[in-house]
Structure 1
Amino acid sequence: MTSVEINIREAGVSVVTDLGRYGFTDQGLQVNGAADQFSAMAANILVGNGEGSPVIELTSILPFEMCTPEPVLFSITGSTGDITIDGINFTSRTPIVTWPDACIRIEPAQAGLRGYIAIHGRIEGDEYMGSCAYDSLINRGCKLADDQRLRVDGHCVQAPPHMTPCFPIRAPRELYSRHTPLGIMPGPELHEYPGFFDNISSQMRTVGAQSDHAGIRLEGTDAPRSRTSEILSRGVPVGAIEVPPAGGMIALLRGRPLTAGYPVPAVVARGWHSQLAQIRPGDTVSLIPTTPAQSISVAQRRRGELDILRKKCSTAFAASRLFSPRTTSMI
């Protein structure tokens, strides 16, 4: 299998990850994986990879730069600033073929928090229990550093016959701002917070600095609870909104602890998980009551967008004979 080593010139805060480490929660392992699953899957589709292939997840408040010694097919999705290859401006959300010794630079974004880079082939990561998802609690995963060499297996591509580095294909556009509305549904302790949905929908909350891959802290008016009894620790899903004794709220992300003992009056619905993953400290958030039907509708629409994107890319790559005989598309 042919491989290439990408030179990570400026890593910022970035890791190699995939969609998560499933099937081991009974052994105490969180799923983790790409915080914005939609953007990670879209990035992989744009380069002909399987949706769950490893990607580079970068924190888009910092610059990132990498150099490719050979032509590679790559894509960038999620939150990004200006993208240049050897000083030439390029766009995100599209397949791009680099030339030899090309340097790709991504400037910080004005809004949103996470960007995703996919490269045709398989990015080498620290695979553990069937996944290379980064997990700081068990000290597993590949956190990138300046001047690191990152191996990509099966990367071989040929220059497209139209002789331009981009294909006329774009993934759905994501609009990021410093204010994000999130759809929420009732949690198991909603009855302990009288008038919670009425009060919460009229308030804006600020994202605190103590936010990370495990969850984001929502600062604002405390939600009064009608009980003072403690809750036994239990499993909590992505999007659970906890109310800790110190006040405020915590919306849990994919790196959350497996169990928690704080009351959960609400849960961010699945249709808004990608938006939740892109919120950065200092942003404001509105929590808007929604329904299971609305959440399912949003999730199905996003799934449909990925399916359409896959068909477009599959057709374009087959027609262009982009992939060399030594490798095949994973689509």
Structure 2
Amino acid sequence: MIAVEGISKRFGDYTALDDVSIEVPDGSLTALLGPSGSGKSTLLRIIGGLESPDSGRVLIHGEDATSVPPQRREIGFVFQHYAAFKHMTVRDNVAFGLTIRKQPKVQIAERVDELLRIVGLAGYAKRYPNQLSGGQRQRMALARALAVEPRVLLLDEPFGALDAKVRAELREWLRRLHDEVHVTTLLVTHDQEEAMSIADHIAVMDNARIEQFGSPRELYDEPSNPFVMGFLGPVSQLGDRLVRPHDIALGAQSEDGALEAMVSRVIHLGFEVRVELMLTTGEAVTAQITRTEADELELGVGDIVWLRSAGSTALRAERAVAPERANDEPLRAAEA
């Protein structure tokens, strides 16, 4: 288990982390999710020993690792930009950590063969990094990180430099890999779909703090505040309430508590239909309904309908869902 207790970190006048505490369950795949500048990469680097906190401590499997050098924390790192040794084959890249630890050659060979099989690169052992695709190089980087049998695996936006199709394929592969090797894994990402689809637990971060920690379903169904609700999926505002578009019911007749709106656009998305509406106050609202519901209502641009919240997830709109940042430069510097 990874335990972070009261961690704070400043870079000059900028606060990157403000009294952050979190426990990452042993053997889990946990995502640190948040916008740029939220502090997620800084937190990961402090856990890995690449940054020192101003206050607080880091415990790994019950041992205080706050002052322990990175190389002694038994942690594997994978970053967005894979630092492959270009003059080495895939096999030699994966074996590097074991080689410098002077492991027996037979043991190294067996471990490398096993990892190349697990990551799907068994047939690429003799190739060089420049002969691999971006996705294959990232799988090689993961195999190299796992070769030394780390107690913890830290992944900092590992698929951020890849195109959308490859990224989707690799995140599914990462989940299967984790289920096979069971190493405690912490993944930094700003991609909500990535976190929701593969993580056991998610810590949503913003403004140097953890806003909420829980399972993907808990966070989606029971968000603690408007920021979490808005960051994990689309929201619409009905009066003083934030609701999910799929939790908005449309009716042709007025009823108690319903709001009048005019249909401004109807977008058919296969079995779902997205309806863009305008309230009498001038506010835009989006509802998502089934094709059957849309056919029954016979919706057309300019039609008047009545809206009400029909779901269990609704929050009072107390603050902006996704706060704008006036100056992103120090945030990018802190996340570097």
TM-score by shorter chain over 0.5: no
The structure with the greater share of residues assigned to helix is 2
Greater relative CO, 1 or 2 (CA 8 Å, sep 6+)? 1
TM-score where L is the length of structure 2: 0.29
Give the TM-score normalised by the residue count of structure 1. 0.30
Question: Which protein shows a greater Rg?
Answer: 2
